[in-house]
Structure 1
Amino acid sequence: MSPSPSLLVAVEDVRASLGPVLLGSTVGALLSGIVTMQMFLYYKLYPDDPFSFRFLVSART
């Protein structure tokens, strides 16, 4: 039994959208890593900052 034509169209739609989803996920992961590295460097370089500043930095990430 062969798949119905509507199922084939749905599979083609999914295949067409996988590229942009993969690209968007990769860019999102890269940007998240950059933000995490900036937060880590902030905590290492400015250990004497007030707690309120440190809390704001952690809340923004």
Structure 2
Amino acid sequence: MAVTAAKSVMAFRVLTMAVDLCRLTTRTMNVNAGHERTSKARIIHQIQLIRGITPRNSIAHQVRR
């Protein structure tokens, strides 16, 4: 039960970070270009870390439910 809950939390974190990444990518005004690049790099790095811990199939399986 705890493992399923942990996987759900990880899947939710990846989803919210992906949404943040999309918002940064699709922003039309490029006021703080340096800050946006840093934020994108941080989000991508976090997603890669989580994907290394959580198998791909478990996240995809949970999203399909």
- TM-score normalized with structure 1 length: 0.54
**Does structure 1 retain, via aligned residues, the 8 Å contact 2:24–2:40?**
no
Aligned pairs, how many?
43
Which residue pairs with 1:37 in the alignment? 19
Task: Give structure 1 stretches of 5+ with no counterpart.
Answer: 1-18
Task: Work out which of the two has the higher radius of gyration on C-alpha atoms and give 1 or 2.
Answer: 1
| Identity in percent | 12
2 CA distance for matches of 1:59 and 1:42?
Answer: 11
Which structure is higher in RCO with an 8 Å CA cutoff and minimum separation 6? 2
Superposed CA deviations along residues 12-43 of structure 1, whole A, max 9, x for unmatched, are xxxxxxx1011111111111111111110121
Instruction: Name the Cα RMSD after superposition.
Output: 1.8
Task: Give structure 2 stretches of 5+ with no counterpart.
Answer: 44-65
